[in-house]
């Protein structure tokens, strides 16, 4: 059971995890697209090794973040939001939580199906989850690619919504996710 929100702002842990994970997601897209354009060789493999290490870092941080989220209620949504906006906000956040697990897990399974080991920055190796299987590899690669498109679309929607709140609605939804934002003008609904 989440606790009652004690403030109209996200706490430092929620903010920290939010922005670290957001930066890592951007890094993942940049690394994947840089690597894909390279011919097979040491540079391509090095970029994918980084992609895998950062990807598995996202999995660990996502577990931490979900645990934190389930025990620390987020601040309530602004009172003026319509039921459709509320639904979209919650659906987007839920989709993010699912994708933060689904992307790394399909990535790890894909590598396992090819029998490629996944190292974490050279410090240790993740166990291969399934035996070598070319058909499974192709299915998982397609799934990973498709999910990355879904993640991209959800992120665009999410960023546009944050900007709309800030510049159009002029509420404090963006500021309360920023470490130095002031949230004096925030009107919230009653928490139930
Ligand atoms: C949240 C984490 C992750 C994100 C956002 C992400 C994103 C992406 C993207 C955007 C691509 C390019 C897709 C395309 O071809 O259009 C890609 C490819 C790939 N990813 Fe990830 N990835 C993540 C985690 C992982 C992990 C943990 C692994 C492995 C352990 C992994 C392995 C791969 C591989 C091998 C490819 C190349 C697939 C191919 O040959 O088409 N990814 N990823
Ligand atoms: C692709 C990277 C991103 C991911 C995965 C992500 C994920 C999330 C998630 C899961 C939440 C819900 C937090 C919770 O209640 O548990 C959230 C909230 C939020 N995010 Fe992001 N986010 C990303 C990028 C961004 C960016 C670039 C911005 C700013 C333009 C942003 C602004 C916000 C704001 C303002 C909230 C608070 C919404 C509210 O109060 O209801 N996010 N984000």
Q: Model confidence over 63-93: pLDDT tens digits? A: 999 999 999 999 999 888 999 999 999 999 9
Does 96 score more than 50 pLDDT? yes
Q: Where are the alpha helices (DSSP H) in 76-189?
A: 83-113, 134-163
124-126/118-120 β-pairing? antiparallel
Which ligand ends up closest to the CA of 146? 1
Give the pTM. Answer: 0.92
Q: What is the mean pLDDT of the chain?
A: 91
Does 186 score more than 70 pLDDT? no
User: Any residues with Cβ below 6 Å from ligand 2, and which?
Assistant: 18, 21-22, 25, 69, 74, 77, 89, 93, 96-97, 155, 158-159, 162, 173-174, 176-177
Mean pLDDT of 22-30: 98
CA distances to 15, 114, 180, 183 from 175, in Å = 11, 44, 8, 6
Which ligand ends up closest to the CA of 88? 2
pLDDT at 80: 85
Q: How many CA atoms lie within 13 A of 100 on its CB side?
A: 26
pLDDT at 183: 62
* DSSP summary character for residue 78: B
pLDDT at 147: 98
Nearest to 6 by CA among 86, 72, 79: 72
Does 53 score more than 70 pLDDT? yes
pLDDT band at 50 (very low <50, low <70, confident <90, very high): very high
Angle, CA 95 vertex, CA 53 and CA 61 arms, to 5°? 30
pLDDT at 7: 54
Percent of the chain with pLDDT over 90: 83
Please identify, by atom number, the ligand 2 atom nearest to the C-alpha of residue 174. Answer: 35
Mean pLDDT of 168-181: 90
pLDDT band at 181 (very low <50, low <70, confident <90, very high): low
């Amino acid at each position: 059971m989440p606790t009652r929100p004690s403030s109209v702002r996200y706490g430092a842990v929620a903010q920290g995890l939010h922005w670290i994970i957001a930066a890592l997601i951007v890094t993942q897209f940049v690394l994947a697209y840089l690597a894909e354009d390279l011919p097979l060789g040491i540079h391509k493999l090095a970029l994918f090794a980084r992609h895998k290490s950062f990807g598995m870092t996202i999995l660990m941080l996502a577990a931490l973040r979900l645990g934190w989220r389930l025990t620390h209620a987020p601040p309530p949504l602004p009172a003026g939001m319509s039921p459709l906006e509320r639904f979209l906000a919650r659906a987007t956040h839920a989709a993010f939580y699912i994708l933060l697990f689904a992307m790394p897990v399909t990535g790890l399974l894909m590598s396992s199906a090819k029998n490629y080991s996944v190292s974490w920055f050279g410090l240790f190796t993740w166990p291969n989850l399934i035996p070598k299987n070319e058909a499974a590899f192709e299915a998982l690669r397609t799934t990973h690619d498709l999910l990355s498109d879904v993640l991209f679309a959800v992120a665009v929607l999410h960023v546009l919504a944050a900007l709309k709140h800030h510049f159009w609605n002029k509420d404090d939804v963006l500021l309360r996710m920023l470490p130095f934002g002031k949230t004096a003008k925030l009107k919230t609904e009653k928490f139930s």
